[in-house]
Amino acid sequence: MTTPIRLLFVAGAGRSGTTILNTILGQVPGFVSVGEVRYIWERAFGENHRCGCGEPFADCPFWSDVIARAFGPAGPPAPEPVSRDLLSRLRILHVPAMIARSALDRPTVPPHHNDAAIHAIYRALADTPGVEVIVDSSKLPPYGKLLERLPGVDLRVVNVVRDPRANAWSWRRVKQTGDTDKNETMEQLELWRSSLVWSAWNVLIARWFPASARSITVRYEDFVARPRETTARIVAMAGGDASALPFVDEHTATLARTHTVAGNPNRHQSGTVALRVDDEWATAMPAAQKWFVTALTFPLIRRLGYRFRV
Ligand SMILES: [Zn+2]
C-alpha cells in the first residue's frame, strides 16, 4: 500500500508575504518546503534557476534524487509544453469556466496527460525518507484544485491574506530575483491589475477551500505579529508536531536553507531571522493610490478584517 501524499498548499494572491512562512514551515520535523512547484517546469527544468539551497537546480542533491526517482532513466518530459499547458489551464480568464465546471461536479481544472508527470514529482517527494508533509507555496487557487485531484493526495490548505494596499505596493517594487546571474527583476503589476487579481483569488479561495479541519485562513499581519502561535496552528492543522518549531523567542526563528524551486528572493535567507512586519506601503504609498486600490477591492476588505481608511 502506498502512503498518502500529504500536501500543505499555501494559497493566496502573489506578494502576500508567504515566503518567510514557507521557510519556517520547512524547518518543522517531517516537513519539506519545496517552493512554488508549479514553476518547476519553466524555471527549474527549463532555466536551471537556483534552488533555495543556493545550488543551480540541476546540481541540487535533494532535487536530483527526487527527479531520478520520479522519472527513472527516461528523465522528465520536455518542460516547455508542460509549462505552457499549465499556464493555459490555470489562467484567470478561465475562472468562469472553472466555477461552472465545479458547480456541475466536474474537475475544476480539466485533466490533462501532463498531470501524470506533475503527480510523479509529488509522489517521489512524499516517498523521500523523513518527509511527512510537503509544503507547496504555489499559491494559485486553480493549481490547488488540480493538486487536490491527483491520486493519493491529502490536501491541507493555509490561505494567507494580506492588506490589498500592501499587496499592491509590493507588486510595484523593483526587486532582484537572485535566481540567476542575469540580474533579473521580479515581475511588476499595475495597481488595477494587482487589485483585481487579489480580489479574484481571495474570492475563489473562500469558495473552494472554506475553513475546515483541513483549511485555515491566516492574515499576514497576524502572522508577523504572533509568528510562533500562528505557525503552531498551521502545523497542527497539517498533522505535524507543533511543539517542535524553530523559534528561539516569540519573534525570532533559526532557519536552515530549504530546497525551494521558485519564489520570492527572501527564500534564500537563512540563519537567525527576526520577523518584522513589512509596512513600508503605509507611509510610502501615495494616498490617491491607496484609495484607488481600496475602491477596487472594497467588497472584500471588511470581510477579511481590514479597514477602509489607512
Ligand atoms: Zn536544493
Query: Is residue 187 pLDDT above 80, yes or no?
Result: no
Instruction: Give 75-131 pLDDT, tens digit per residue.
Output: 999 999 999 999 999 998 999 999 999 889 999 999 999 999 999 999 999 999 999
For residue 192, how far is its CA from the centre of ligand 1 (angstroms)?
Answer: 36
For residue 92, how far is its CA from the centre of ligand 1 (angstroms)?
Answer: 30
Closest CA to 116 of 155, 146, 157: 146
Query: Is residue 199 pLDDT above 80, yes or no?
Result: yes
Q: Whole-angstrom Cα distance, residue 29 to residue 36?
A: 20
Do 33 and 135 meet the contact criterion of CB atoms below 8 Å apart? yes
For residue 123, how far is its CA from the centre of ligand 1 (angstroms)?
Answer: 18
Mean of pLDDT values over 253-265? 87
Q: Whole-angstrom Cα distance, residue 10 to residue 216?
A: 10
Mean of pLDDT values over 152-178? 87
The total number of residues written for the chain in this structure = 310
pLDDT-derived band at 266 (thresholds 50, 70, 90) equals confident
Mean of pLDDT values over 253-271? 85
Query: Is residue 53 pLDDT above 90, yes or no?
Result: yes
| Tally of CB atoms within 10 A around 71 | 15
Least confident of 79-88, 178-187, 253-262: 178-187
For residue 19, how far is its CA from the centre of ligand 1 (angstroms)?
Answer: 16
SS3 157: strand
pLDDT-derived band at 60 (thresholds 50, 70, 90) equals very high
For residue 179, how far is its CA from the centre of ligand 1 (angstroms)?
Answer: 12
Q: Using alpha carbons only, give the angle 13, 16, 17 rounded to the nearest 5 degrees.
A: 150
Is 307 within the bounds of a domain?
A: no
For residue 1, how far is its CA from the centre of ligand 1 (angstroms)?
Answer: 29
For residue 178, how far is its CA from the centre of ligand 1 (angstroms)?
Answer: 14
Closest CA to 200 of 84, 307, 94, 306: 94
Residue 123 has which C-alpha cell? Answer: 509522489
Query: Is residue 295 pLDDT above 70, yes or no?
Result: yes
SS3 67: helix
pLDDT at residue 198 in the model: 93
For residue 258, how far is its CA from the centre of ligand 1 (angstroms)?
Answer: 7
For residue 236, how far is its CA from the centre of ligand 1 (angstroms)?
Answer: 26
For residue 269, how far is its CA from the centre of ligand 1 (angstroms)?
Answer: 13
For residue 18, how far is its CA from the centre of ligand 1 (angstroms)?
Answer: 19
For residue 294, how far is its CA from the centre of ligand 1 (angstroms)?
Answer: 39
Tell me what the pLDDT averaged over the chain comes to: 92
Do 50 and 267 meet the contact criterion of CB atoms below 8 Å apart? no
Instruction: Give 118-147 pLDDT, tens digit per residue.
Output: 999 999 999 999 999 999 999 999 999 999
Dihedral pair phi/psi, residue 50, rounded to 5°? -70, 140
Mean of pLDDT values over 278-290? 91
Is 308 within the bounds of a domain?
A: no
pLDDT at residue 308 in the model: 84
Instruction: Give 2-42 pLDDT, tens digit per residue.
Output: 899 999 999 998 888 888 899 999 999 999 999 999 999 99
Is 239 within the bounds of a domain?
A: yes
Query: Is residue 64 pLDDT above 70, yes or no?
Result: yes
For residue 34, how far is its CA from the centre of ligand 1 (angstroms)?
Answer: 9
User: Domain limits at 279?
Assistant: 5-301
Sequence-distant (6+) residues with CB within 8 A of 96 are none
Do 80 and 86 meet the contact criterion of CB atoms below 8 Å apart? no
| Tally of CB atoms within 10 A around 1 | 3
Is 106 within the bounds of a domain?
A: yes
Domain count, the chain: 1
For residue 148, how far is its CA from the centre of ligand 1 (angstroms)?
Answer: 25
Mean of pLDDT values over 214-231? 95
For residue 129, how far is its CA from the centre of ligand 1 (angstroms)?
Answer: 16
pLDDT at residue 185 in the model: 66
Query: Is residue 176 pLDDT above 70, yes or no?
Result: no
CATH number (domain holding residue 199): 3.40.50
Query: Is residue 183 pLDDT above 70, yes or no?
Result: no
pLDDT at residue 189 in the model: 81
Query: Is residue 179 pLDDT above 70, yes or no?
Result: no
pLDDT at residue 310 in the model: 77
User: What is residue 185's DSSP assignment?
Assistant: B
Is 127 within the bounds of a domain?
A: yes
pLDDT at residue 192 in the model: 87
Reported in sequence order, the residue ranges of 204-268 that DSSP labels E, i.e. its strands, are: 215-219, 247-249, 252-255
Query: Is residue 264 pLDDT above 80, yes or no?
Result: no
Is 309 within the bounds of a domain?
A: no
Residues with CB in 5 Å of ion ligand 1: 51, 53, 60, 62, 259
Sequence-distant (6+) residues with CB within 8 A of 260 are 22, 23, 26, 33, 34, 35, 36, 51, 52, 137, 267
Query: Is residue 174 pLDDT above 70, yes or no?
Result: no
